[in-house]
Amino acid sequence: MRHVLSILVENEPGVLSRVAGLFSGRGFNIESLNVGPTLDPTVSHMTIVTIGDDQIIEQIIKQLHKIISVIKVVDLSEEQAVEREIVLVKVGAEDSKRAEVLRIVDIFRCKVVDVSVDELTVEITGDKNKIKAIVTLLQRFGIKEFARSGPIAMRRSMQLAD
Amino acid sequence: MVRTGAQILLECLQREGVDLIFGFPGGAVIDIYDELPNHPIRHILVRHEQGAVHAADGYARASGKVGVCLVTSGPGATNTVTGIATAYMDSVPLVIFTGQVPTQLIGNDAFQEADIVGITRPCTKHNYLVKDVRQLAFTVKQAFYLARTGRPGPVLVDLPKDVIRATAEFHYPESMSMRSYNPRYSPNRKQLRRAAELIAASSRPVVYAGGGVIAADGAGELTRLARDYRLPVTTTLMGLGAFPGTDPLWLGMLGMHGTYTANMAINNADLLISIGARFDDRVTGRVDAFAPQAKIIHFDIDPTSISKNVGVDVPIVADCRQGLVGLMEELARVSGVDWQGKHAAWLAELAAMQREHPLTYASSGEHIKPQWVVEKIYEITQGEAIITTEVGQNQMWAAQFYRYTRPRTFLSSGGLGTMGYGFPAAIGAQLAFPDRLVVDIAGDGSIQMNIQELATAVSYQIPVKVVILNNGYLGMVRQWQELFYNKNYCATCLHTNPDFVALAKAYGAEGFRVERIEDVEPVLRKAFAHPGPVFVDVRVEPEENVAPMVPAGAALSEMLLV
Ligand SMILES: Cc1ncc(C[n+]2csc(CCOP(=O)(O)OP(=O)(O)O)c2C)c(N)n1
Ligand SMILES: [Mg+2]
């Protein structure tokens, strides 16, 4: 099962390599990893997407806690979390295609952030399904460059009962 | 008061109660060595940095205190890695100080630069690069705090030369607390109650104890639990000494070279009470066939050890000693159980197994049997020695044929299986207990991996006794080749061993050779009575095997008795 782990760590040198090293050293998967600052300058926030059965996820969480620099680990299962990811895509948009590309951008409420005569750079924000849908649609225009942040996530304020 | 980094470091060591360190100097730490004579800290100059770490490790295991090392940058630091990994696998509290090139040169491929913090990240509990002398005292305090609390382990502190030479105001923190590190010591009451209920309901319980009991100083509590509630006990290699090997409830060690009774007890048990052990593959054999009928209670200070390899019914995260105390409190509340009679049938069954399949060896032939040598060492020392081991057959025979009655008397590299551990560890243990007899039960292969420490033993007159069970082979590997690889003895024959007696003498130690059965006892007595370090080269049966044996990947019940 896919799990999104939200991790608070001490903001100190080497902490990323401690976390990444845990995954590589113990053969756990990292689907994506995202690190950024928090409002507290001494704390960084990591979001890791990983895949494993319940026993593996339990080990991953325990092992993360065991790293001295890790302050907190939260397992955000998909139903309980809002997840967002940002993608930049540079697509071919010669005159004949441009209108169609812009229409897709519009339907998905994306943004064009850079333009040239034959290319458009589109910013997509959303969860993984939305990103998958729009990228599939844009592919036929020719994707020239692609950059993806990996998701960040947060627990929903209102939890729905199962 | 303003001090240099070197002064601050040594002042911190004194505050931590360190009176002994093991080290080897070099350019990056010369300022610390320059300052060292001004402090009441004894420095033991080893002959290889791996020896320093194993010696500090032996000191720590024998005494329960934190072992400390000081080495230089680059090769000095990389030479410590095997020692650190050894200590990490066996949860031994160490603090290792490494020199580093000056901060402005870090990352420049400077002379004798190695990224030791990067290299040791996966084999330390935690490590630090100190970049500012004002952080030094705090870092040292934290390093000792981490090494000795929770699940103990090695912590490395990397010290750039400019930091050691810089000056700062010295403040030593009185206490330490960390938002990211709060080991849980006290057991959950509800879980203890469930454990007590399971024990009261069981008819074939077995206690399976490991090194965590010794690390938590819980051997007395373990012994009391077993005796009061009539529970049979087996331990891992790391747990030897946590329960008296002379007690009728003792089943022997379990696992790959465990006793028939211990392994069959696990196989037939309806309840496993695991205390400070981690279900290592050398213990469990084929993991899905391990304790197939048993419910499992697992005490461990490290949550990651619980349900890692084997699912557990009652997990209890706690210090093992506190866990044992709590469990006994809960058991005392259980009424209406006749503990003396409760497990009588089970204990009788196990006793019959022990009679039927004791640890044994064929005593025929003109060769000296290595197992018998270990039995003689036990007899002569009356079980009072501190035994260290190398790795291989020597280690297993030392585990099987010497009876350990007290914790911290069997020091062996269990998790990493490091050849070359035993001799420097014996030196460390001897320095912790100058008046006790310390014996390294060695193999002819392993002893050569840190034999340079003879110079250390001689120069400080550290009177360790090394008994080499010299079979002319890398015996344990040869045994695998014999049993599983058609006797293809590739690269395991040591036909060019040195003359160990002459070698010992060349270093200035005493040396004896034993080739006849009748000489074993008198020579061992003479060696143990000798006031200085001694090598005893005992020529043993070359192709003796360790038995019983659970082949790698087989179930415990599929033991070869050979
Ligand atoms: C550093 C290291 N290298 C290799 C091994 C693999 N190994 C395990 S036991 C063994 C043989 C040890 O030979 P010896 O010290 O003579 O002991 P014996 O088994 O003969 O008693 C070897 C090579 C090891 N454990 N450690
Ligand atoms: Mg040998």
Sign of CA dihedral B462, B42, B212, B288: negative
Residue B76 is inside which H or E element, if any?
Answer: helix B75-78
B487-505 burial, b at 16+ Cβ within 10 Å, e below that, comes to: eeeeebebeebeebbebbe
Comparing CA positions, the residue from B63, B45, B237 lying closest to residue B148 is B63
Chain A residues with CB inside 8 Å of B117's CB? 14
Distance B238 CA to ligand 1 centre (A): 18
Q: What single-letter amino acid sits at A62?
A: K
| Residue B142 is among the residues annotated as catalytic for this protein | no
Distance B468 CA to ligand 2 centre (A): 8
User: Which band of pLDDT confidence, cut at 50, 70 and 90, is reported for residue A81?
Assistant: confident
**Over the stretch B487-545, which tens digit does the pLDDT of each residue have?**
999 999 999 999 999 999 999 999 999 999 999 999 999 999 999 999 999 999 999 99
User: Helix, strand, or coil here: B509?
Assistant: coil
Pairwise CB contact (< 8 Å): A13 & B129: yes
Pairwise CB contact (< 8 Å): B121 & A18: yes
CATH no. for B370-539: 3.40.50.970
Q: What single-letter amino acid sits at B391?
A: V
Pairwise CB contact (< 8 Å): B304 & A71: no
How much is the CA Rg of chain A, to the nearest whole Å?
A: 19
- CA separation for the pair B330, B189 (Å, rounded): 8
The CB density around residue A62, as the number of other CB atoms within 10 Å, is: 18
The atom number, within ligand 1, closest to the CA of B370 reads: 21
Pairwise CB contact (< 8 Å): A55 & B307: yes
User: Which band of pLDDT confidence, cut at 50, 70 and 90, is reported for residue A78?
Assistant: low
Q: What are phi and psi of B248, to 5 degrees?
A: -60, -20
The CB density around residue B146, as the number of other CB atoms within 10 Å, is: 25
Nearest CA of chain B to the CA of A160: how many Å? 30
| Residue B49 is among the residues annotated as catalytic for this protein | yes
| Residue B465 is among the residues annotated as catalytic for this protein | no
Give, in order, the Cα–Cα distances in Å from B306 to each of B54, B106, B156, B288, B321. 28, 40, 26, 16, 17
Listed in order, strand segments (DSSP E) in B247-352 are 250-253, 271-275, 295-300, 314-317
pLDDT, position A162: 52
Q: Is the pLDDT of residue A147 over 70?
A: yes
- CA separation for the pair B333, A115 (Å, rounded): 78
Minimal-distance CA residue of chain A relative to B115: A14
The three state secondary structure string of A76-93 is ECHHHEEEEEEEEEEEEC
Class of domain B2-169: alpha beta
Interface test with B, best of A68, A69, A70, A73 (most B CBs within 10 A): A68
Nearest CA of chain B to the CA of A102: how many Å? 48
- CA separation for the pair B294, B272 (Å, rounded): 6
Q: What are phi and psi of B315, to 5 degrees?
A: -80, 135
If contacts are CB pairs under 8 Å, which of residues 223-242 in chain B contact chain A?
A: none
End-to-end CA distance of chain A: 18
Give the list of residues 6+ apart from residue A161 with CB closer than 8 angstroms, or none.
Answer: none
- CA separation for the pair B141, B129 (Å, rounded): 14
Give the list of residues 6+ apart from residue B154 with CB closer than 8 angstroms, or none.
Answer: B84, B87, B88, B92, B93, B94, B95, B96, B123, B124, B125, B147
The CB density around residue B59, as the number of other CB atoms within 10 Å, is: 30
Residue numbers of chain B with a pLDDT score lower than 50: none
Q: Which of A10, A14, A62 sits opposite B180 (nearest CB)?
A: A10
Listed in order, strand segments (DSSP E) in B72-188 are 94-100, 126-129, 154-160, 167-169
| Residue B476 is among the residues annotated as catalytic for this protein | yes
The atom number, within ligand 1, closest to the CA of B442 reads: 15
B365 touches chain A (CB under 8 A): no
Are A49 and A2 in contact, with CB atoms under 8 Å apart?
A: yes
pLDDT, position B394: 98
Tokens of A11: 């903001």
Give, in order, the Cα–Cα distances in Å from B392 to each of B282, B372, B453. 13, 17, 20
Listed in order, strand segments (DSSP E) in chain A are 2-10, 32-37, 43-51, 70-76, 81-92, 111-115, 119-126, 143-148, 152-155
**Over the stretch B414-463, which tens digit does the pLDDT of each residue have?**
999 999 999 999 999 999 999 999 999 999 999 999 999 999 999 999 99
Interface test with A, best of B156, B181, B298 (most A CBs within 10 A): B181
Pairwise CB contact (< 8 Å): A69 & B180: yes
Pairwise CB contact (< 8 Å): A62 & B129: no
- CA separation for the pair B435, A125 (Å, rounded): 72
Chain A residues with CB inside 8 Å of B147's CB? none
Are B13 and B40 in contact, with CB atoms under 8 Å apart?
A: no
- CATH 3.40.50.1220 is held by the domain B189-356: yes
Are A31 and A2 in contact, with CB atoms under 8 Å apart?
A: yes
Distance B476 CA to ligand 1 centre (A): 6
Tokens of A1: 């099962």
Tokens of B263: 């392994």
- Comparing B189-356 with B370-539, is the CATH topology the same? yes
Count of helix runs (H) and strand runs (E) in chain B: 23, 20
User: Which band of pLDDT confidence, cut at 50, 70 and 90, is reported for residue A1?
Assistant: confident
User: Helix, strand, or coil here: B43?
Assistant: strand
Choice among B125, B161, B295, B465 that is catalytic: B161
Q: Is the CB of B419 under 6 A from ligand 1?
A: yes
User: Which band of pLDDT confidence, cut at 50, 70 and 90, is reported for residue A161?
Assistant: low
Tokens of A33: 């990893």
- CA separation for the pair B11, A140 (Å, rounded): 69
B121 touches chain A (CB under 8 A): yes
Choice among B11, B16, B35, B49 that is catalytic: B49
The CB density around residue A145, as the number of other CB atoms within 10 Å, is: 10
User: Which band of pLDDT confidence, cut at 50, 70 and 90, is reported for residue A16?
Assistant: very high
- CA separation for the pair B544, B562 (Å, rounded): 11
If contacts are CB pairs under 8 Å, which of residues 30-69 in chain A contact chain B?
A: 55, 58-59, 62-63, 65-66, 68-69
Residue B467 is inside which H or E element, if any?
Answer: strand B465-470
B177 touches chain A (CB under 8 A): no
Burial class (CB in 10 A: 0-12, 13-18, 19+), B333: exposed
> What domains, with CATH codes, occur in chain A?
2-79 (3.30.70.260), 82-154 (3.30.70.1150)
Chain B residues with CB inside 8 Å of A14's CB? 117-118, 121, 129
Nearest CA of chain A to the CA of B126: how many Å? 7
Chain A residues with CB inside 8 Å of B308's CB? 59
β-strand partners of B511: B535
Q: Is the pLDDT of residue A160 over 70?
A: no
Pairwise CB contact (< 8 Å): A59 & B178: no
Note the ligand closest to the C-alpha atom of B476: 1
Pairwise CB contact (< 8 Å): B125 & A68: yes
Q: Is the CB of B391 under 6 A from ligand 1?
A: yes
Q: Which of A21, A58, A66 sits opposite B121 (nearest CB)?
A: A21
pTM for the predicted model, two decimal places: 0.97
Choice among B14, B111, B484, B487 that is catalytic: B111
Note the ligand closest to the C-alpha atom of B423: 1
Are A120 and A112 in contact, with CB atoms under 8 Å apart?
A: yes
Provide ipTM, 2 decimals: 0.92
Q: Where are the domains of chain B?
A: 2-169, 189-356, 370-539
**Over the stretch B290-302, which tens digit does the pLDDT of each residue have?**
999 999 999 999 9
Give, in order, the Cα–Cα distances in Å from A93 to each of A98, A140, B204, B330, B403. 5, 11, 76, 75, 81
Q: Is the CB of B72 under 6 A from ligand 1?
A: no
Tokens of B471: 């079979």
Comparing CA positions, the residue from B320, B315, B296 lying closest to residue B186 is B320
Q: Which amino acid residue places its CA nearest to atom 2 of ligand 1?
A: B419
